[in-house]
């Protein structure tokens, strides 16, 4: 880029210089010819005029060639993304699914990233009953994000399988299945658009009242109406005009609006001050009501209400049970709790 800009900035003075030189030579030569009587004055002036007319368009042409090359390079890069092979597609006999009735089950699930040496998850077995809150805890790199990314099939498991109501999720229509799930991720995925559009986010057939209702549940309505244009305020690239907590509450509002039976939360409350953490936490608690929730908890104080806590360590489940039971076990979970209490 530096090289290109250097050349581009240099090209203008250079072409001016060359242009002036050429014209000087032309005038000098033409003047001599006129003096010699080889051409008459009017022909010479007409020639000069024509010459000047040509200079500008020819400069434009060289610029156009440059732009085309630049565009072609960008196009190539965009196309390589758009044309990338989809690894995860519906099988020809994929089944539709429209509801979630009993349980999600991870059966002997192992998963290794294609470029990794070691498996990120090793023979995981877990049953998540409908309506329960399951919390995943564990050190950084233990495999928590990997665990939740497998459910919406961002990756496919290599061994074992994930089952919903006893159906392998690989045998289901991906779009149908994903409609059952909402995900609030660690870094909020927002777009350079209005608050309203960011909450609706491609959902069809929703009205303004429903959007406002969702924002209220997510503790977001208050700060939204205090912004300049309310729901029509533009939030900038990736929502940069908002604070971290506000961004997160917008994505929670989005999840509420979709109203899915299954909710996946990668809690990111650790980056927030205690006031916004409280607001986000309250919002999450409201959202989890009457839903099956898998929550990755970074702050252990927030998982005590979970029905089951699963402790992951290096890709394996090492402990599982209620907060109280795990405390009494005096194992890994107890260590994590003690560390955070310090």
Restricted to residues 10-49, the positions that interact with ligand ATP (CB under 6 A) are: none
84 binds ligand ATP (CB under 6 A): no
CB of 315 to Mg ion, least distance (A): 13
Ramachandran area for residue 3 (φ above 0: left; ψ -120 to 50: alpha; else beta): alpha
Residues 6+ apart with CB under 8 A from 49: none
**Sole binder of ligand ATP in the list 42, 99, 115, 207 (CB under 6 A):** 115
98 binds ligand ATP (CB under 6 A): no
Closest CB to Mg ion among residues 141, 236: 141
Q: How many residues bind ligand ATP (CB under 6 A)?
A: 12
CB of 122 to ligand ATP, least distance (A): 11
CB of 253 to ligand ATP, least distance (A): 24
Residues near Mg ion (CB under 5 A) are 145
CB of 241 to ligand ATP, least distance (A): 27
Residues 6+ apart with CB under 8 A from 151: 104, 162, 169, 181, 262, 264, 294
CB of 165 to ligand ATP, least distance (A): 26
CB of 319 to Mg ion, least distance (A): 19
CB under 5 to 8 A by kind: which of ligand ATP, Mg ion, none does 116 bind? ligand ATP
113 binds ligand ATP (CB under 6 A): yes
CB under 5 to 8 A by kind: which of ligand ATP, Mg ion, none does 113 bind? ligand ATP
Sign (positive/negative) of CA torsion 268, 147, 320, 329? negative
CB of 58 to Mg ion, least distance (A): 57
Closest CB to ligand ATP among residues 218, 311: 311
CB under 5 to 8 A by kind: which of Mg ion, ligand ATP, none does 140 bind? ligand ATP
Closest CB to ligand ATP among residues 131, 244: 244
Closest CB to ligand ATP among residues 195, 310: 310
Site string for ligand ATP, 118-147 (x = CB under 6 A): --x-----------------x-xxxxxxx-
Restricted to residues 145-204, the positions that interact with ligand ATP (CB under 6 A) are: 145-146
Residues that bind ligand ATP (CB under 6 A): 113, 115-116, 120, 138, 140-146
């Amino acid at each position: 880029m530096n090289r290109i800009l250097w050349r581009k900035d240099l090209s203008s003075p250079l072409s001016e210089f060359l242009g002036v030189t050429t014209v000087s030579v032309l005038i000098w030569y033409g003047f001599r010819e006129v003096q010699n009587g080889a051409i008459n004055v009017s022909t010479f002036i007409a020639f000069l005029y024509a010459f000047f007319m040509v200079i500008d368009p020819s400069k434009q042409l060289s610029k156009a060639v440059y732009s085309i090359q630049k565009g072609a390079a960008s196009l190539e890069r965009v196309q390589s993304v758009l044309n990338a092979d989809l690894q995860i597609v519906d099988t020809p006999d994929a089944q539709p699914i429209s509801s979630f009735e009993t349980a999600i089950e991870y059966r002997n699930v192992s998963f290794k990233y294609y470029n990794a040496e070691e498996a990120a998850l090793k023979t995981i077995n877990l049953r998540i009953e409908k309506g329960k809150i399951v919390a995943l805890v564990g050190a950084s790199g233990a495999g928590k994000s990997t665990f939740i990314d497998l459910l919406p099939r961002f990756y496919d498991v290599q061994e074992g399988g994930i089952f919903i109501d006893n159906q392998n999720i690989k045998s289901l229509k991906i779009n149908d299945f994903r409609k059952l799930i909402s995900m609030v991720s660690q870094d909020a995925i927002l777009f350079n658009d209005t608050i309203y559009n960011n909450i609706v986010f491609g959902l069809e057939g929703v009205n303004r009242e429903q959007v406002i209702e969702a924002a209220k549940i997510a503790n977001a309505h208050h700060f939204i109406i205090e912004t300049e244009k309310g729901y029509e305020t533009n939030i900038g690239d990736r929502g940069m005009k908002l604070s971290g907590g506000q961004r997160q509450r917008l994505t929670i509002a989005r999840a509420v609006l979709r109203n899915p039976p299954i909710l996946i939360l990668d809690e990111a409350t650790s980056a927030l001050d205690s006031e916004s953490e409280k607001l986000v936490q309250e919002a999450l608690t409201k959202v989890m009501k009457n839903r099956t929730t898998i929550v990755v908890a970074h702050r252990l104080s927030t998982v005590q209400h979970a029905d089951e806590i699963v402790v992951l360590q290096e890709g394996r489940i090492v402990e599982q049970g209620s907060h109280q039971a795990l405390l009494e076990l005096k194992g890994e979970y107890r260590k994590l709790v003690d560390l955070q209490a310090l």
